Amino acid sequence: MFYRIPAVMLASLVTTGALPVSAQEAPAQDFTSMFTEGKASLNFRYRYEYVDDDARDRNARASTLRSRLTFTSATYRGFSFLTEFDDVTAIGADDYNSTANGKLQYPVIADPEGTEVNQVWGRYSAGGASGTYGRQRIIHANQRFVGGVAWRQNEQTYDGFRALFNGGNNITLDYTYAYNVNRIFGPDDGPVQPAQLRGENHLLHANWKFLPDHSISGFVYALDIDEDTAYPAGRSVGNSSDTYGLEYSGKFGPVAARAAYATQSDAGDSPLSYDADYYLIEGSADLAGIKATLGYEVLGGGDGVGFKTPYATLHKFQGWADKFLVTPADGIEDLYLSLAGALGPVKLAAIYHDFQAEDSSTDYGSEINLVANWAYDSNWSFQLKFASFSSDSSAYTDTDKAWMTVNFKI
């Protein structure tokens, strides 16, 4: 367990010159220069989040600050390293269930307080290949299966070894062996969710860009997650699975298209026995400065078990109200339409979702998402965001969520 460092102490490490802040793109000339020519950066992200969920009598309010200190070395003879510390602190309203603070009378806002080493890794690069060992951020494609969940204040990272290879003919290979996944519910285990998932995870993603605007990807995710007896199987070993899939993306003038398919079955010591499919079709077009996107995504239900994506950045998909972080047993169909544009320097987007069961006639509900982003300069950025989910189904309650985020980096 790492000692908890308050945000003000993180700031002092930089302001007192404890770490060098200059950086050069050219390789370091000697070992010492890996440090002196490295780069230190500091990021503060403040967020106020409000949740009104009909499942709770009380509304949740969270005022949190994430402080991040990062040092990236220069490269010497192909070697480099990175260290990164995160601190999450409630600095105002804390009437919310963080999943770790025991405030079960409030809706969940999954931002537990704590300090941890977010990343620490060493890397060797040569030619078009690299190998990285340690705790690291891993993002595959659009993060539908493997991502960092960077939306939450405590990011998801992976402990293990990652190999990247950029070959000829526009082919890239990305393989990771991860023996531990540090989840957003950490750094310590809570009463509801484990902070880490240990096991043997093989994450393989390959991409071939066969034409300038067209590519196809293949992926294999073999997850053998250890049982954690402190929690139900569905929060650990029950997520063990083997997933195989393909994805296409391309552009035809102003029109872009994406399509994907994957099949999944139980694996490892999972107590489940099932087979389920995933598929997606999406098209978008830019018209007079407005980008319109229409998509249809299905996570199937097989033998009473929904398709599982335990390492995905789930907040990106199926609505920002996060009602479907676990796929229902009957699966889910998500028909969505989004419009995105800009009003001066402010980027705006609106998204509508319609949710139906894949394996029955159940209508789960619908959701509206709105967001405004303003990058004031290279240091400051601001975001306002809103989600409203409504349903007539007894399984899901009406929920409204709102966020205000301020980001500062140097």
> pLDDT digit string (tens) for 153-175?
999 999 999 999 998 889 999 99
pLDDT confidence of residue 9: 36
Q: Which of 257, 157, 261, 141 is nearest to 205 (CA)?
A: 141
pLDDT confidence of residue 6: 41
Amino acid at site 126:
A
Residue 365 DSSP label? E
Statement: residue 245 has pLDDT above 50: yes
**Can you tell me the mean pLDDT for 355-369?**
96
What is the residue whose two structure tokens read 């200059």? 22
**Can you tell me the mean pLDDT for 256-274?**
98
Distance CA 149, CA 26 (A): 32
Q: What percent of the chain has pLDDT over 70?
A: 94
φ/ψ of 233, rounded to 5, equals -60, -30
Q: How far apart are the first and last CA of the chain?
A: 28
Statement: residue 372 has pLDDT above 70: yes
Tokens of 16: 């007192």
Query: How do residues 4-35 score in pLDDT, each as one tens digit?
Result: 334 433 333 333 333 333 344 689 999 999 99
Distance CA 225, CA 269 (A): 8
pLDDT confidence of residue 167: 84
The neighbour count for residue 171, using CB atoms within 10 Å, is: 13
* Residue 181 near residue 196 (C-beta atoms within 8 A): yes
Tokens of 243: 């997933």
Q: Which of 142, 222, 209, 212 is nearest to 177 (CA)?
A: 222
pLDDT confidence of residue 70: 98
Mean of pLDDT over the chain: 93
The residues, ordered by sequence, that sit 6+ positions from 394 with a Cβ below 8 Å of its Cβ are: none
pTM, rounded to two decimals: 0.92
Query: How do residues 51-108 score in pLDDT, each as one tens digit?
Result: 999 999 999 999 999 999 999 999 999 999 999 999 999 998 899 999 999 999 999 9
pLDDT confidence of residue 92: 87
Q: Which of 392, 358, 282, 368 is nearest to 320 (CA)?
A: 368
**Is residue 234 classed exposed, middle or buried when 0-12, 13-18 and 19+ CB atoms within 10 A define those classes?**
middle
- Residue 367: its H or E element: strand 363-375
pLDDT confidence of residue 19: 39
The residues, ordered by sequence, that sit 6+ positions from 347 with a Cβ below 8 Å of its Cβ are: 340, 341, 372, 373, 374
Q: What percent of the chain has pLDDT over 90?
A: 91
The neighbour count for residue 263, using CB atoms within 10 Å, is: 16
Between the CA of residue 124 and those of 33, 35, 39, 301, what are the distances in Å? 16, 16, 18, 42
Query: How do residues 375-394 score in pLDDT, each as one tens digit?
Result: 999 999 999 999 999 999 88
